[in-house]
Structure 1
Amino acid sequence: MYYLSTLAPLYAANHMQPMWRDRAAIQQFQQQLAGLAMSGVQPQFSQWVTSLTDPAVNDVGRDIVLSDAMLGYLQFVSAIGTHGNSWLYSNIPYKLGLPPNAVINQWQLAVRQDRLQSYVNSLVPQHPQYTKMYQALRDMLVNNRPWPQVSNGPNLYPGQLSNDIPALREILMRTDMLTHSAPVAQARGRLARNEPDDGGLSVGEENNRESLVATSARDITLAAGSTVITQSAASVTVGETVYSPDLVAGVKRFQKWQGLNTDGVIGARTREWLNVSPQTRVALLALNIQRLRILPGYISSGIMVNIPNYSLTYYQNGREVLSSHVIVGRPSRKTPLMNSGLSNVVLNPPWNVPTSLVRADIVPKAMRDGSYFQQHGYTLLSDWSKDAKVIDPAMIDWNSVSARNFPYRVRQAPGASNSLGRFKFNMPSSDAIYLHDTPNHNLFQKDMRALSSGCVRVNKADDLANMLLHDAGWSNDRVASTLQEGNTTYVNIRQRILVKLYYLTAWVSDDGQMQFRTDIYNYDHAVRSGVQILAQAEKLM
């Protein structure tokens, strides 16, 4: 027992009577416990699941295991609001501890008043996604046959030949991607599928761009030891090796299911998602179900940015009024998870280039090209104060400075080519993170948009700004004239508007389709552990 010293006085106070007499409460708690174990966030939950599925653990012993597990579960549920950003996005399991006494007392009161079932029900994530995701998880659990695998290799284009075609066809059939309209998530015993929903410019970004191949999906599948099957090349006939039009159509549906470009070309990212088994998807669902606990269940007025979905949604009066593609930080300069509130909108913003970018990108280029600052509209300032003096780059002794000790602030003037575009959306942030426009809207055509240095670029920044400015009393004519004049103008936001940057790699869209996204920051590492307990956890579902 993990909490034996705590359980002893609790059972003594209960006159050594069982605490788990309500069968419905037992069933519901075991289901919640199994779901948390499948998320992989803490190995001890898997130990409790193993004990509860052991036929030798019965009667009093089983009651004690349930109570022991309840203490661990209560600690998780009660502390997740404070620690969720670390517990649910870490490669290291969090440390188990005791829940607050007040929480233990609530549980014990429910036991004494014979309302344990309603108390257990109150512990599930209070989010509208929960019921849909939980049902999808249960449906996927039954899809436990060995999963076909496609091999690594060059891109496969329509009409080409490949020995992977039989495996590809089976994968598309088992995910219902060969039908004209994929079933919704609630279809029993089948994978839920496709149709994604809408759920600062880095200097030299194309040179520094990391590969965003879905390494996590591949590594999780291999590390978890999921049963896979491969096709023997010797058993494949020529007619079975053609990448035919019906398969191309199915692959396009499959790509849409993962948020990939629907070009029908089977490249590295598509191959790796094809190889992700239902077992891994179950664990991904389980982990993201727990992440619902740190998301608001209802949003009156707010801006929600789902980082791995590269999407922004703006709500007014509880209704979605704008959806936009976004660009987020690349893996080496992650966009942080955060809660904040919009403070102002800046029209014609200047760009004070972050020191890290100045040192890593701008100074080396300026040292090679003396006209670099002028060509890109940069001004050098003596420091970061309001009274900072303008420095002429020609007056700097470049032999005495380096990228590491460069003492000046670099500012880019407002304008059409400014890296922040025409609008900036400020919010309090210890990481100096904000939303902004961009002059390079062509980048929004990419499917993998982790390209920035941490800030969030908004494709529909002009629409978002116009909505916010209209609420602040600005007319369209006033906005247009201010942009044309080019003067930097700050407009305060009158009402409280939540800004939440969050990270969800699996969910159910409004049309009932399951969605999965590439884990661009490798935050889904816990899934490796979650897959290991699926067979046992399923017995409690």
Structure 2
Amino acid sequence: MERSAPFYCHRHKSRPPAKKQQQIVLMLAGICMALLYLALFLSGSTRPVLAPLVAKESIEYWLYDAPGEVVGSISLQYRDELDELYRQHGHQPIWMDHFQLNDAGKVLVRSLKHTASDEWKAYRYRIAKLQTEIKRLSNQPKHAAAIDVLLSDAFIDYAQQVLNRELLPNTGELDHPSFRKVASAPTIRVTSLDVISLLSQSLEHGKLHTLVSDLVPQHPGYEGLANELDRYQDIAESGGWYPLNIDRTLSLGDSHGQVPRLRWMLKAYGDFTASKLAWLIPQSEDQDPLLLEQAYRRDRHNRVYKIDDDTVTALRHFQTRHGLTANGQLDKPTLELLNVAPYFIAQRIALNMKRWRYLPVDMGQRYILVNMANFHLDLINDGESQLSMKVVIGRNQRRTPVLVETISAVVLAPQWNVPHRIALRDILPTAQKNPNYLSRHNYKIYEGWQTPAQEIDLTNVDWEGFNSRINTFRFVQTPGGDNALGDVKFVLPNDKSIYLHDTNHKELFGRKMRALSSGCIRVEKPRQLAHALLKDQNWDSALINKVIDRAQTRPVQLKQPIPVYLMYWTSWVDENGQLQMRDDVYRRDQINGESHKLDSIVL
């Protein structure tokens, strides 16, 4: 008995109860499951690594073994330059973070896509092929290396175009041929080797992302258009867009089978916002508009086919964005704009994005901005409009050029020294037909442009001899109510005689289309603008009016000249984040293959 006790105790300690055994088993199973899930999580979140030696071999393959067969049959444009670049970089990827784009690569791809979207030039970026390869990128080292090499190849081309100012539209117009080009090409061109040097330096100092970003305008207006470009390209690529075929004006309460399609368009463009109580009413809006259109005959009384209040509001929003009369009706002008394919809208947006490249990085704390396509001027102070007004711009035969300049002086009660081209084309033919025209409108003629100059008696002009010596004569219109410059002139130093001024034809500001001048900008509120520019020099409104009423010319130099930007945007994003579109009055946009051929412009 005494020996059996220890034996009994030993057996009891070595075999825990069945319930406790189950708990241990369950605990171990739980630990195993947790470890399994952890392993799966880590394996799913761990990115494949492109080893440096493998990356080197893959890049060398495309540079030396198959430079003409990168991703199929694409040939490298800058093989020698790329050889130098990748040698300096140890034949390691520049734009790839193992098997995905790094931040600089993402910025570059977006920039290439936006730049090429207008199809203005025969861009050599191969961006469509690049995007396809990026989407199908797998864990194949040669595939990742091919994308990297092609991006470097495209970057060399793109950087040269930016740095040589080749991405500026409308720089070769001859409406005012004597004007020096605002954005003329630099005397010394940036070469592909210069770009390689720049790229190598940025890699050495870890500034690649900064380099790529700095090649893109940093203005909020540019980024706003970039976002809208993405929107319209997404719509175009969705395959869901097709034009409306509606042969009558639709108003509130009217029904049509394509009303669901109309709402789809307005929603896609950002114009349609359902009312807060719309969720209370059963709708079929989520259905395919095409299916709803096909069902119209069977269910024509369904409210989904009616123009409701929300649709009217959306139509007004669309019309306002496009400069149309905001009547809330689907009329002919509205239908025509709705039926412009998103692809062409995207093309137009991309071209207008390039116009931001005219502007300096820092536009100044205070400046004047004119959008010719919108016939509008704003005096901007600290990022907000201090004064806003309508303008008249040059007519189509004498288009106002895109211009970046500075107002140096304000002239009160100005006299008008008529530019030679206007004297020859407009004033001289009229004066020859009507001898009293010059005296009636307070013109004088002087012998030459020097000061002082001999005045010619208007009653004794030898018009035949005058024609042969026209270059030696100067027409001057004295200050007063008939003066073509009106009460105020704002001086811009340039050799095309382009400036801002008042007008003796105030009625023109009542017109919607105001491309009516000989090239200068006529402003709606000249005295208010003069006061805004001169008030810091102790010129109040009363003093300005007094000088003007005397009809004695008084130039006033600005102590702080103010930048002026005469721009041409047919599409832009306003202060509320809304895309605005206007008619291309100067036919400067390349849309649907129409307007003047931008490819022929000498940059």
TM normalised by structure 2 equals 0.67
Change in CA separation of 1:506 and 1:380 when aligned onto 2, cut-off 3 Å:
same
1:346 to 411, 419, 424: 411
User: Which is higher, the Rg of structure 1 or of structure 2?
Assistant: 2
Determine helix, strand or coil for the equivalent of 1:328: strand
Out of 331, 334, 347, which is 2:399 matched to? 334
- Mapped pair 1:20 → 2:95: yes
User: What is the rounded CA distance, in whole Å, between the counterparts of 1:242 and 1:340 in structure 2?
Assistant: 52
SS of equivalent residue, structure 2 residue 512: coil
Matched residue, 1:36:
115
Structure 2 residue ranges without an equivalent (≥5): 1-75, 175-184, 276-292, 595-603
- Cα deviation for residue 374 of structure 1 reads 2.4
Instruction: Measure the CA separation in 1 of the matches of 2:327 and 2:269.
Output: 19
The alignment status of 1:478 with 2:553, answered yes or no, reads: no
Contact 2:120 2:590 in 1 (8 A): no
2:220 equivalent among 128, 142, 154 = 128
**Following TM superposition, by how much is the alpha carbon of 1:87 offset from its aligned partner in structure 2, in angstroms?**
7.3
> Which residue does 1:313 correspond to in 2?
378
How many Å apart are 1:247 and its aligned residue? Answer: 7.5
Q: Are the aligned partners of 1:314 and 1:320 in contact in 2 as well (CA < 8 Å)?
A: yes
Offset of residue 491 of structure 1: 0.6
- Counterpart for residue 254 of structure 1: 318
Aligned partners of 1:460, 1:373: CA distance in 2, in Å?
Answer: 28
- The answer on 1:464 being equivalent to 2:539 is no
Change in 2 beyond 3 A, CA 1:108/1:507: same
Distance in 1 (alpha carbons) for counterparts of 2:244 and 2:467:
49
Report the Cα distance in structure 1 between the residues aligned to 2:220 and 2:321, rounded to whole angstroms: 21
1:6 pairs with 2:81: yes
Kindly tell me: are residues 482 and 521 of structure 1, through their superposed partners in 2, closer, same or farther at Cα, counting changes over 3 Å? same
Q: What are the superposed Cα offsets for residues 24-66 of structure 1, whole Å, 9 maximum, x if unpaired?
A: 2323321221111113343234534335525699233222111
For residues 427 and 329 of structure 2, the distance between their equivalents in structure 1, rounded to whole angstroms, comes to 37
Q: 2:129 pairs with 35, 46, 50, which one?
A: 50
Structure 2 Cα separation of the partners of residues 109 and 11 of structure 1: 13
Question: Is structure 2 residue 526 aligned with structure 1 residue 447?
Answer: no
**Corresponding residue for residue 67 of structure 1:** 152
Q: Give 1:203's aligned residue.
A: none
- Give aligned-pair identity as a percent: 31
Confirm or deny that 1:280 pairs with 2:344: yes
Answer whether contact 2:156 2:195 (CA < 8 A) is retained: no
SS in 2 for 1:498: strand
Task: Answer whether contact 1:48 1:65 (CA < 8 A) is retained.
Answer: no
2:216 equivalent to 1:137? no
Q: Of 589, 596, 600, which residue of structure 2 is paired with 1:524?
A: 589
SS in 1 for 2:559: coil
Amino acid at match of 1:273: L
Moved more, 245-254 or 20-29: 245-254
What is the root-mean-square deviation in Å for CA atoms of aligned residues? 4.1
2: distance between equivalents of 1:268 and 1:115?
53
Letter in 2 for 1:42: K
Q: Say if 1:255 and 1:354 are closer, same or farther in 2 by CA, change over 3 A.
A: farther
Between Structure 1 and Structure 2, how many residues are aligned? 473
2:161 is equivalent to residue 76 of structure 1: yes
Q: Which amino acid aligns with 1:13?
A: Q
Q: Does 1:292 align with 2:384?
A: no
Task: Name which structure has the greater RCO, CA cutoff 8 Å, separation 6+.
Answer: 1
The correspondence for 1:420, drawn from 472, 476, 485, is 485
Partner SS for 1:497: strand
State the alpha-carbon separation in 1 of the partners of residues 318 and 469 from structure 2.
47
User: Residue 348 of structure 1: CA displacement?
Assistant: 0.6
Residue 129 of structure 1 aligns to a residue in which SS? helix
Aligned-pair CA distance for 1:321: 1.5
SS of equivalent to 2:379: strand
Determine the structure 1 residue equivalent to 2:32: none
Output the CA distance in 2 between the equivalents of 1:328 and 1:247.
Answer: 35
TM-superposition CA deviations, 1:404-425 (whole Å, max 9, x none)? 9585322222112211110000
Range that drifts further, 172-181 or 325-334: 172-181
Which amino acid counterpart does residue 216 of structure 2 have in structure 1? V
- CA–CA distance in 1 between the matches of 2:378 and 2:145? 50
| CA distances 1:419-451 after superposition (whole Å, capped 9, x unpaired) | 111000012112111100112222122222111
Residues in 2 aligned to 1:325 and 1:10: alpha-carbon distance in whole angstroms: 52
Quick one: which of 198, 202, 210 aligns to 1:106? 198
Q: Provide the rounded CA distance (Å) in 2 between the counterparts of 1:266 and 1:348.
A: 48
Task: Give the residue type in structure 1 aligned to 2:413.
Answer: N
Q: Quick one: distance in 2 between partners of 1:461 and 1:9? A: 58
Distance change >3 Å, CA 252–CA 90, structure 1 → 2: farther
Question: What displacement does 1:523 show?
Answer: 2.4
- Structure 1 residue 72: deviation in Å? 1.3
| Distance in 1 separating the partners of 2:498 and 2:192 | 34
Trace 1:114-513 onto structure 2 (pairs within 5 A).
116-144=208-236, 145=239, 147-149=241-243, 172=266, 175=269, 177=271, 251-262=315-326, 272-298=336-362, 299-316=364-381, 319-399=384-464, 401-402=466-467, 405=470, 408-513=473-578
One-letter code aligned to 1:138:
D
Instruction: Note closer, same or farther for the CA distance 1:102–1:170 as it changes in structure 2 (3 Å cut).
Output: closer
Q: Distance in 2 between matches of 1:365 and 1:257?
A: 42
* Cα distance change of structure 1 residues 341 and 418 upon mapping to structure 2, 3 Å threshold: same
Shift of 1:163: 10
Moved more, 4-13 or 144-153: 144-153
Q: Deviations over 1:453-499 (max 9, x none)?
A: 11001111111101222222223332222112111111111013112
* Distance in 1 of aligned mates of 2:402 and 2:385: 21
SS at 2:164 equivalent: helix
The amino acid across from 1:384 in the alignment is W
Greater mean alpha carbon deviation, residues 381-390 or residues 68-77: 381-390
Question: Aligned partner of 1:69: which letter?
Answer: A
TM superposition shift of 1:113: 5.5
Distance 1:386 1:248, change over 3 A: farther
TM-score (norm 1): 0.74
- Partner secondary structure for residue 538 of structure 2: coil
CA contact (8 A) 1:346 1:425 kept: yes
Work out the CA distance in 1 between the residues paired with 2:206 and 2:488.
57
